[in-house]
Structure 1
C-alpha cells in the first residue's frame, strides 16, 4: 500500500498539473515526497537531504512568480547536493568514464538555459551545473540498483529540461506539451533514485 500511495499521488498530481489554477495540487504535490519517504525511508542522511530539498522545491514551485522559482531552484540545488554526496559514495574504481562527457554536456546546457532565462540566468546556470554533477555521480554507481539510479538521474535531467524549456524557451502549444511531461518524469525519477539507492544498501539486494 505504501508504494501504491506514492504512485497514486504521482498520477493524480501529473493529471492535475495539466490544469491551472488547480487547488488539488496543494495536496497532491505537497504529499509526493512524504509518500516516497514512507514507501522508501532514506537511511542515508544525504539522501534524506535530497528528499527534504525536493519537498521544499515542490512546495515553492506551486507558485508561478520569479521569487517562487528562485526558491524552488535553491531547494532543488540543496537536494542535488545531497543526492550527489550519497551517490558519490557508491562509485567504484574504473566507473568514471562518463563523468567528463556528462559535465561537458551539462555545462553547455547551463550556458544555453542561462542565456534564455534572462534575469534568472545565473541561478538557472548554477542549478544546471549542479544537476549535471548529480547525473555524473549517478553514472559512477555500481552494484545492485545502479541501473535504477542512472535511469532516475537521467529522468530528473529530462524533467528539468522540459521545465526549463517550457518556461524560458518555448511558447504556446509547444510549451504546454513540454510542461505536461515534467511531473511524470520527475515522479518516476525520484522513485528510481530512491529505490535504486535502497537496493544498493540492502544486504539481500532487495528494496528496503
Structure 2
C-alpha cells in the first residue's frame, strides 16, 4: 500500500506539472513526493537519507520559477547527489569501475554545453552537472541485487535534469513545454529506482 501511494503521488504530480494553473495543487503533490517515498522505502544509509532531504528541499524550491528559486533548487539537489554518491561509493565493488571515466567525460562535456546555455547561471549549472555525473558514475559501480535499478535510477535522474535544462535554457514555446512535461515522470521514476534498488542491496 505504501508503494502504491508513491506511484499515485508521482502520477498525480506529473499530470499536474503538465497542466497550466496547477501551482496550488502542486504545493501539495510535489512537496509530498519525498516524504511518501521515505515511508515506502525508509533510508537505512545516511547518504540516502541526505539524498531524500536534499531532493525534498529542491522540490520545494523549484515550485518557484525565479532565478533565485532555481539556484536554491540547484544547490539542494547538489547536496542530494553528494549524499547519493557517498552511499553508492561505499557499496561499490572491485573491478566495477570501467564506465566511470566515460561517464565523467560525458558529464564534463554536458557541463560545458549547459554552462554556455545558462548564461549568468552557467557556473552553478556546470558544477551541478559535474556532481550529477559523479553520482551516475558511482551508480555504475553497483553490482549484484538491485544494481540495475540503481543505475537505471541514476541514468533517469540525468535524463530528467537534461529535460529541465533544455526546457529552461535552450528551447522555447511548445518545444519547451513538451520537454518540461517529461521532467517529473522521469524524476519520480529515478528516485523510486534509486531507493528501491539500494534497499535491495541490503
Within 5 A, what are the aligned runs for 1:32-71?
32-71=33-72
CA–CA separation in structure 1 for the residues paired with 2:20 and 2:136: 31
What is the CA-CA distance between 1:148 and the residue it aligns to? 0.1
Instruction: Indicate the larger mover: 106-115 or 17-26.
Output: 17-26
What is the CA-CA distance between 1:90 and the residue it aligns to? 1.2
- Give the TM-score normalised by structure 1: 0.96
- Give the TM-score normalised by structure 2: 0.99
- 1:94 aligned residue: 95
1:10 to 2:13 alignment: no
* Structure 1 segments (4+ residues) deviating >4 Å: none
Unaligned runs of 5+ in 1: 202-208
CA–CA separation in structure 2 for the residues paired with 1:139 and 1:118: 31
- 1:117 aligned residue: 118
Within 5 A, what are the aligned runs for 1:66-81?
66-81=67-82
CA–CA separation in structure 2 for the residues paired with 1:94 and 1:164: 33
- 1:152 aligned residue: 153
- 1:188 aligned residue: 189
What is the CA-CA distance between 1:173 and the residue it aligns to? 1.0
1:98-148 superposed Cα distances (whole Å, 9 cap, x missing partner)? 000000000000000000000000000000000000000000011100000
Unaligned runs of 5+ in 2: none
1:126 to 2:127 alignment: yes
What secondary structure, in the 3-state scheme, does the structure 2 residue paired with 1:117 have? helix
Instruction: Indicate the larger mover: 170-179 or 127-136.
Output: 170-179
